[in-house]
Amino acid sequence: MKYFIKPLREIDAAKISRWTYKEPYSFYNMGQKKEVIEELLNRSYYVIKNEKDKVVGFFCFGEAAQISEGKKFDAYIDYDIVDIGLGMRPDLTGQGKGIEFLYKGLVFAKKKFSNTKFRLTVATFNQRAIKVYKKAGFKEKIIFKIPKDKNLKTDIEFMTMELNFKIPSP
């Protein structure tokens, strides 16, 4: 599948905010709230579309890709690294498309930020995503836990993973 990365527009943000993931991935459901759409439009997010101009996912960079609670655990103290976040449309997940999708975002980020060091943060229960990240060369770094609150049914454990990304020569 060909992927095209473009600045995220309001219509794209509205579509992404409506995505519904099945358990156990429902944690990633955003709900179509005004504040969610506003965050998606904060210029840290980029939409990924296919050759038919259909939204297939998104990438975000910098602070938007971090879990704010992780700062309490010094998860983000290395400042010469680019934080990357991503999401794929729910009906496309679990089909072996993740590595190609991730690679496209890494190539984009390398060009945009002139950097080769990347970090992402993933919920440790998301073994499907972790498998993709490890296949891409990401290494486990810091694990931290966010205690349940009014928005979380249970404690959620997160892990940062890092990669020194080199685009292979043709």
What CATH number does the domain containing 60 carry? 3.40.630.30
Task: Please say if the pLDDT value at position 51 is more than 60.
Answer: yes
**How many domains does the chain fold into?**
1
* Residue 169 maps to a domain: no
Mean predicted confidence (pLDDT) in 68-89: 92
pTM here is: 0.89
* Residue 52 maps to a domain: yes
Give SS3 for 81: coil
Task: Please say if the pLDDT value at position 27 is more than 90.
Answer: no
pLDDT at 146: 86
Range of the domain at 121: 4-164
**Averaged pLDDT score across all residues of the chain:** 90
* Residue 80 maps to a domain: yes
Nearest to 66 by CA among 28, 122, 142, 17: 122
pLDDT at 35: 83
**Strands 82-88 and 117-123, bridge-based pairing:** parallel
Task: Please say if the pLDDT value at position 86 is more than 90.
Answer: yes
The DSSP output letter for 3 is -
Task: Please say if the pLDDT value at position 170 is more than 90.
Answer: no
Mean predicted confidence (pLDDT) in 132-138: 96
* Residue 29 maps to a domain: yes
What is the percent of the chain where pLDDT is above 90?
A: 69
